[in-house]
């Protein structure tokens, strides 16, 4: 066998939510080959990690991000949504090139890996560069490409670019040893129209893949959808076939009962982005209702320009807290359910069905949390410790497809200093 992690507390997140104290995890090739409280005799291991005072959990999955927006971190805060977007973000984004997106994404990936993220869903521009950064770093990603080009000569035209999406899909889907999944991007129902929504849905069906979409993030979208389509954004998605394929829908803050029923019936996944929804004043999504209905809800950071980090520990903490407070009910959003949102629900939503649990036969995608810190003593409930007490910086080791990407917070094959340097220099060029 290849790798043995011993003396480790394991939060498996398997179907029985099993927690093993002082156990063993074995990895062969890219898969988990052993999860046990005792070590079978006679097996030889090429490499061993002592897991004493550490907790193993499935790697975190960031269900919605625009990673390259790290370049705009802390650039524009505490302002009205329109001022933020039209006067600050859009003018900067108009200056982006391949180089900016590559290094911005690299910075985002380095930050995410150091925060225990093993896979992320990304939606942005120059997506070839995102694929390149994912390939080079060893992380997993669900990336997407829009079949519509919105503007030409500054005018909103919604031009058909389906062939670009088909080529992108053919080039990258299941590339990087299967670490990449490609979905079709639908930015939103308000940037598309009925024809382009139907075309995108047909394209996803033709490619046998899913769709990543921003859905009902703001109250303004509720109004515009009613005005433009005479129905809710969810209803127009249903009508145009968008919900006939696997859907990863970000935000979903303003959903009617009927919208939720449609999402549930379609088997769509919803990505909750608590920091971004709060920071932009979008509102508080009906997550407890969604979980009650059995909808697959995962967690995401959104871009660093509206967060301002890519820290899934903070998203788990927030998700566990805000719905209790808003509903004045401390029994909502239990720690184990939130950890499930941050791990296996995310893996499922992104199309990595063989990830998200520490279980024999699943991919070797897991992280080790260093609990030898004052804020993680005493050693009581490991699930509560991860959701309520831990910081992203407690991530000690990141293993993806059985490969050690980071150990003792040091990367094996990524030049972290160079990434920070390049991104900082480019950001200064971009923001001045």
Q: Which of residues 313-332 bind a second copy (CB under 8 A)?
A: 314, 317-318, 320-322, 324-332
- Which residue bears the tokens 């003792």? 408
Kindly state the tokens that stand for 319: 């998700």
Selected range binding a second copy among 8-16, 26-34, 233-241, 424-432, rule: CB under 8 A: 424-432
Q: Is 323 annotated as a binding residue?
A: no
Based on its alpha-carbon atoms, the radius of gyration of the chain, rounded to whole angstroms, reads: 21
Q: Is 235 annotated as a binding residue?
A: no
Please list the alpha-helical segments (H only) found in 83-141: 90-93, 98-114, 127-137
**b or e along 383-405 (b: 16 or more beta carbons within 10 Å of the residue's beta carbon)?**
bebbbebbebebbbbbbbbbbbb
Q: Are 64 and 300 in contact (CB under 8 A)?
A: yes
Q: Are 393 and 65 in contact (CB under 8 A)?
A: no
Decide if residue 219 touches a second copy (CB under 8 A).
yes
Q: How far is the CB of 104 from a second copy (least distance, A)?
A: 9
Applying the rule CB under 8 A, the residues between 55 and 84 that interact with a second copy are 70-71, 73-75, 77-81, 84
Decide if residue 230 touches a second copy (CB under 8 A).
no
Q: How far is the CB of 284 from a second copy (least distance, A)?
A: 6
State the binding string over 93-132 for a second copy (x if CB under 8 A, else -).
Answer: --------------x--xx--xx-----------------
Q: Is 272 annotated as a binding residue?
A: no
Q: How far is the CB of 113 from a second copy (least distance, A)?
A: 9
Tell me the HSE value of 2 on the side-chain side, using a 13 A CA sphere: 13
Q: How far is the CB of 108 from a second copy (least distance, A)?
A: 8
Q: Name which position in 12, 275, 345, 397 contacts a second copy (CB under 8 A).
A: 275
Q: Is 29 annotated as a binding residue?
A: no
Q: Are 32 and 79 in contact (CB under 8 A)?
A: no
Q: How many residues bind a second copy (CB under 8 A)?
A: 75
Q: Is 93 annotated as a binding residue?
A: yes
Q: Name which position in 137, 277, 343, 397 contacts a second copy (CB under 8 A).
A: 277
Decide if residue 176 touches a second copy (CB under 8 A).
no
Q: How far is the CB of 292 from a second copy (least distance, A)?
A: 15
Calpha distance 423→317 (Å, rounded): 28
State the binding string over 344-373 for a second copy (x if CB under 8 A, else -).
Answer: ----------------------------xx
Q: Name which position in 88, 135, 224, 389 contacts a second copy (CB under 8 A).
A: 389
Q: How far is the CB of 112 from a second copy (least distance, A)?
A: 9
Selected range binding a second copy among 60-68, 143-151, 190-198, 388-396, rule: CB under 8 A: 388-396
Q: Is 314 annotated as a binding residue?
A: no
Considering only the C-alpha atoms of the chain, give the largest distance between any 2 of them, rounded to a whole number of Å: 69
**SS3 at position 22:** strand
Q: Which is nearer to a second copy, 281 or 361 (CB)?
A: 281
Q: Is residue 423 exposed (0-12), middle (13-18) or buried (19+ Cβ within 10 Å)? A: buried
Q: Which is nearer to a second copy, 319 or 358 (CB)?
A: 319
Q: Dump strand ranges (E) for 352-402.
A: 366-370, 395-400
Q: How far is CA 16 from the centre of its chain?
A: 24
Handedness of CA 50, 37, 11, 135 (dihedral sign): positive
Q: Is 50 annotated as a binding residue?
A: no
Q: Are 51 and 5 in contact (CB under 8 A)?
A: yes
Annotated binding site: 64, 66, 93, 187, 214, 217, 302
Annotated binding site for substrate: 93, 187, 217, 302
């Amino acid at each position: 066998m290849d790798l043995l992690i011993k003396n480790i507390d394991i939060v498996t997140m398997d179907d029985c939510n099993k927690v093993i104290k002082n156990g063993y995890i074995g990895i062969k090739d890219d898969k988990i080959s052993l999860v046990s409280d005792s070590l079978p005799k006679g097996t030889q291991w090429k490499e061993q990690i002592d897991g004493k005072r550490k907790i193993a959990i499935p790697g975190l999955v960031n269900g919605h991000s625009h990673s390259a927006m790290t370049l705009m971190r802390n650039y524009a805060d505490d302002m009205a949504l329109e001022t933020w977007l039209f006067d600050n973000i859009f003018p900067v984004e108009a200056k982006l090139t391949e180089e900016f997106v590559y290094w911005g994404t690299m910075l985002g990936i380095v930050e995410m890996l150091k925060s225990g993220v093993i896979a992320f869903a990304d939606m942005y521009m120059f997506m070839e560069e995102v694929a390149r950064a994912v390939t080079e770093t060893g992380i997993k990603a669900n990336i997407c490409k829009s079949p519509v080009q919105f503007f030409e000569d500054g005018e909103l035209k919604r031009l058909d670019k389906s062939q670009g999406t088909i080529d992108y899909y053919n080039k990258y889907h299941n590339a990087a040893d299967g670490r990449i999944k490609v979905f079709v991007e639908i930015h939103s129902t308000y940037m598309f129209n009925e024809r382009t929504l139907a075309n995108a849905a047909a394209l996803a069906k033709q490619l046998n893949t899913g769709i990543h979409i921003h859905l009902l993030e703001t109250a303004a979208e509720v109004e515009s959808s009613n005005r433009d389509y005479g129905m809710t954004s969810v209803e127009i998605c249903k009508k145009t076939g968008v919900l006939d394929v696997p859907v990863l829908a970000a935000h979903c803050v303003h959903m009617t009962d009927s919208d939720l029923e449609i999402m549930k019936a379609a088997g769509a996944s919803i990505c909750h982005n608590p920091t971004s929804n709060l920071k932009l004043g979008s509102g508080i999504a009906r997550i407890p209702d969604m979980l009650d209905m059995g909808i697959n809800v995962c967690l995401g950071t959104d871009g660093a320009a509206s967060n301002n980090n890519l820290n899934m520990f903070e998203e788990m903490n927030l998700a566990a807290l805000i719905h209790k407070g808003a509903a004045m009910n401390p029994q909502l959003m239990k720690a184990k359910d939130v950890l499930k949102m941050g791990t296996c629900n995310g893996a499922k939503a992104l199309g990595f069905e063989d990830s998200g649990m520490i279980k024999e036969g699943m991919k070797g995608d897991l992280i080790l949390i260093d609990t030898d810190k004052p804020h993680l003593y005493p050693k009581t409930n490991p699930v509560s410790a991860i959701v309520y007490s831990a910081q992203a910086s407690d991530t000690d080791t990141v293993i993806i497809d059985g490969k050690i990407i980071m150990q003792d917070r040091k990367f094996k094959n990524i030049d972290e200093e160079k990434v920070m340097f390049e991104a900082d220099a480019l950001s200064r060029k971009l923001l001045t």
